[in-house]
Chain A
Amino acid sequence: MDMKVAKKKLGLKDKYKLMTRDLGWEPSYHSKDELYPYMNYEGIKIHDWDKWEDPFRLTMDAYWKYQAEKERKFYAIIDAHAQNNGHLNLTDARYLSALKIFLQAISPGEYAAHRGFARVGREFPGVGPQVACQMQAIDEIRHAQTQIHAMSNYNRYYNGFHAFADQRDRIWYTSVARSFFDDSMSAGPFEFMIAIGFSFEYVLTNLLFVPFMSGAAYNGDMATVTFGFSAQSDEARHMTLGLEVIKFILEQDPDNLPIVQNWIDKWFWRGFRVLGLVSTMMDYMLPKRVMSWREAWDIYGVENGGALFKDLARYGIKPPKGWDDAEKAIDHMSHQFMLGLYQWSFGTSFHSWIPSDADMDWLAGKYPDTFDKHYRPRWKHIKKLAAAGTPFKNYGLARLCQTCQLPSVFTEPDDPTLTCHRETVYKGEKYQFCSDGCQHIFENEPEKYIQAWLPMPQLFQDPIKGDLGEWMKWVSLLDGKDNGDYAGSEDQKNFEAWRGLATTNQ
């Protein structure tokens, strides 16, 4: 009788070797310098590309299998959400402002990351990073697509979702995230990897996805939880790659250390500024909040980032230069940013609002040293103005930082009563900055940042020529529908009416 013999499967290590290293070849028609023209100009020295190893040892065959499984799970929930009026399970339609910002500013960033990884996967000579970058390029385009698809279910019912692609290119606040990704994509391949793979994915992405997606779960938004966690399951691999990249570069040559440290300093600060948007989502825009921005920072910034930089100290890496300024900003930034969004709400394709007394009590509890002292009095004043029928609106144009493109609404690290403002004159032209960090970044690469597209100068150019109505048309913003206070908005009226229909027999 024949015994059934189980077919011997390849072990993980052998499989990884066969399906990555064995796919490479030595070029014979062209020199390596011709094939990989961007390998030397950043000054990074690599001696042995084979030292690059993916710790998960994921190969393409396994990648497709698990990604297909993730997609099946994702679409099962998206279908159920659409079939069961999932949008009416939200705690409150105020929550949608967070989603609108996500769709206008973050999802296009996923697409930009896709392009960036597709490019660097072509430019690195090693097979290990080529395969890893290929997977990440496919991940990132999947994230952009699943996010847009999930949120399209809200576009059927609510305002502000319809023109995210135009707004990604044209509206003022999305230029913060856009310029961040454009900056990384127009850098060299090694800088791109430190910018996105390490600084953004490893140090900062947890702050974006984990508390925000838990927040979506708290607020009844199953569609977002699903795309968020589905994307985040790839991020764990990206983070691991980001850490591997930095170890690999530092172990290859001691000359790489100062170059890498400079990139870490730069990209930590750039990323921290982009996350200003997330701090307001967490502290103000989730009707039911899962944790404060400060609490998320303590877990994912202080504890996690602290452990990371303690570990990297053996290579001579120091925590990023802006780390202390970031810590000082944590208890202020969400309040300063939300006050900015409220006063410029005529120009946002989402709603903002004055926090209720209960919300302000929650904020005071989470920010005992700053909220009652600096921010509650301002909100109370704004509330009084709104009650008197003269709501506080600022039709003046914000002064934007030349580097991060945020309005300079933030204060001095050591004085929360004084707006932080820096200036540099370069080739006879004056440039404005929101912080020391952004000023230093500019001064290291002025020829790059003087070319930045800034939304405020655009206002005076064709086709807008200083006309607010023309500007709204140009950015696809429907006045009175997409913008302004949540109180009295179409979104608020519709949500309440539809929820009433769903829970009664009227």
Chain B
Amino acid sequence: MSTVFIALQANEETRPIIEAIEIDNPQAIVHRQPAMVKIDAQGRLVIRRATIEEQLGRDFDLQEIHINLISLTGHVVEDDETLTLSWND
């Protein structure tokens, strides 16, 4: 199974997002690099609005992630509740 990843800027806004991704994707591996955090996962990675809101303590629109997004791979499926990255192989 191929690896998907998402890379976010390392800052105060992304800290709770990264924590939420770790909670929802226990298989994910978090790499902390200069000024950025790259999260790899085998086959599939799910980002959930509800988990981010719990970590953040406020309402969150998943599209806010664009502000701090650096890069990603895989097919993207996004609706109001989740953003999913995956490969079909």
B79 contacts A229, CB within 8 Å? Answer: no
Residues of A close to B5: CB separation below 8 A: 304
Partner of A13, one of B9, B63, B66, B79: B79
Partner of A210, one of B36, B68, B75, B88: B36
- Contact mask B65-89 → A, CB, 8 Å, 1/0? 0111111111111111000000111
B77 contacts A55, CB within 8 Å? Answer: yes
- Contact mask B1-14 → A, CB, 8 Å, 1/0? 01111010100000
Cβ distance B48 to chain A, nearest Cβ, rounded Å: 14
A456 at the interface (CB under 8 A from B): no
A239 at the interface (CB under 8 A from B): yes
Residues 31 to 78 of chain A near chain B (Cβ within 8 Å) = 55-58, 62, 66, 69-70, 73
B34 at the interface (CB under 8 A from A): yes
Residues of A close to B3: CB separation below 8 A: 303-304, 307
Partner of B63, one of A55, A62, A70, A310: A62
B67 contacts A69, CB within 8 Å? Answer: yes
Residues of A close to B9: CB separation below 8 A: 229, 233
Cβ distance B42 to chain A, nearest Cβ, rounded Å: 11
A306 to B87, CA, bound (A): 11
A261 at the interface (CB under 8 A from B): no
Instruction: List the B residue with the shortest CB-CB distance to A306.
Output: B2
Contact count A vs B, C-beta below 8 Å: 98
B89 contacts A310, CB within 8 Å? Answer: yes
A55 contacts B34, CB within 8 Å? Answer: no
A239 contacts B88, CB within 8 Å? Answer: no
Residues of B close to A214: CB separation below 8 A: 33-36
- Which of the four size classes fits the interface of chain B? 20 to 34
A236 contacts B71, CB within 8 Å? Answer: yes
Cβ distance B69 to chain A, nearest Cβ, rounded Å: 5
A155 at the interface (CB under 8 A from B): no
Known A-B contacts A232-B71, A233-B68; A56 and B63 likewise in contact (beta carbons under 8 Å) = yes
A229 contacts B70, CB within 8 Å? Answer: yes
Residues of A close to B78: CB separation below 8 A: 12, 55-57
B7 contacts A210, CB within 8 Å? Answer: yes
Residues 263 to 309 of chain A near chain B (Cβ within 8 Å) = 290, 303-304, 306-308
Known A-B contacts A218-B34, A311-B2; A232 and B63 likewise in contact (beta carbons under 8 Å) = no
Known A-B contacts A12-B78, A56-B78, A290-B33; A304 and B73 likewise in contact (beta carbons under 8 Å) = yes
Known A-B contacts A12-B80, A66-B64, A311-B89; A213 and B35 likewise in contact (beta carbons under 8 Å) = yes
A55 to B75, CA, bound (A): 8
Cβ distance B59 to chain A, nearest Cβ, rounded Å: 11
Residues of B close to A243: CB separation below 8 A: 75
Instruction: List the A residue with the shortest CB-CB distance to B66.
Output: A66
A271 to B69, CA, bound (A): 24
A236 to B71, CA, bound (A): 5
A13 to B81, CA, bound (A): 12
A229 to B36, CA, bound (A): 9
A66 contacts B63, CB within 8 Å? Answer: yes
Known A-B contacts A229-B9, A229-B70, A303-B3; A240 and B76 likewise in contact (beta carbons under 8 Å) = yes
Residues of B close to A308: CB separation below 8 A: 73
Residues 296 to 335 of chain A near chain B (Cβ within 8 Å) = 303-304, 306-308, 310-311, 313-314
A239 to B4, CA, bound (A): 14
Partner of A314, one of B33, B74, B88: B88
A217 at the interface (CB under 8 A from B): yes
Partner of B67, one of A12, A56, A233: A233
B2 contacts A56, CB within 8 Å? Answer: no
Residues of B close to A476: CB separation below 8 A: none
Cβ distance B25 to chain A, nearest Cβ, rounded Å: 17
B67 contacts A73, CB within 8 Å? Answer: yes
Residues of A close to B2: CB separation below 8 A: 306-307, 310-311
Known A-B contacts A11-B80, A12-B78, A55-B77; A206 and B71 likewise in contact (beta carbons under 8 Å) = yes
A237 at the interface (CB under 8 A from B): yes
B73 contacts A307, CB within 8 Å? Answer: yes
Residues of A close to B77: CB separation below 8 A: 55
A144 at the interface (CB under 8 A from B): no
The residue among B34, B64, B75 with the most chain A CB atoms within 10 A of its own CB is B34
A11 contacts B79, CB within 8 Å? Answer: yes
Residues of A close to B7: CB separation below 8 A: 210
B35 contacts A217, CB within 8 Å? Answer: yes
A225 at the interface (CB under 8 A from B): yes
Instruction: List the A residue with the shortest CB-CB distance to B63.
Output: A62
19 contacts between A and B (CB under 8 A): A11-B80, A12-B63, A13-B79, A66-B63, A70-B67, A210-B36, A210-B71, A214-B33, A217-B34, A233-B9, A233-B68, A236-B66, A236-B72, A239-B72, A240-B76, A307-B2, A307-B73, A310-B87, A311-B89
| A interface, CB within 8 angstroms of B | 11-13, 55-58, 62, 66, 69-70, 73, 206, 209-210, 213-215, 217-218, 225, 229, 232-233, 235-237, 239-240, 243, 290, 303-304, 306-308, 310-311, 313-314
Nearest 4 CB-CB pairings of A with B: A307-B2, A217-B35, A55-B76, A217-B34
Please name 16 further chain A to chain B contacts, defined as beta carbons within 8 Å, in addition to the given A232-B71, A236-B69, sorted by A numbering.
Answer: A12-B63, A56-B66, A66-B67, A209-B71, A210-B7, A210-B70, A210-B71, A214-B36, A217-B36, A229-B9, A229-B70, A233-B68, A235-B71, A303-B3, A307-B74, A311-B87
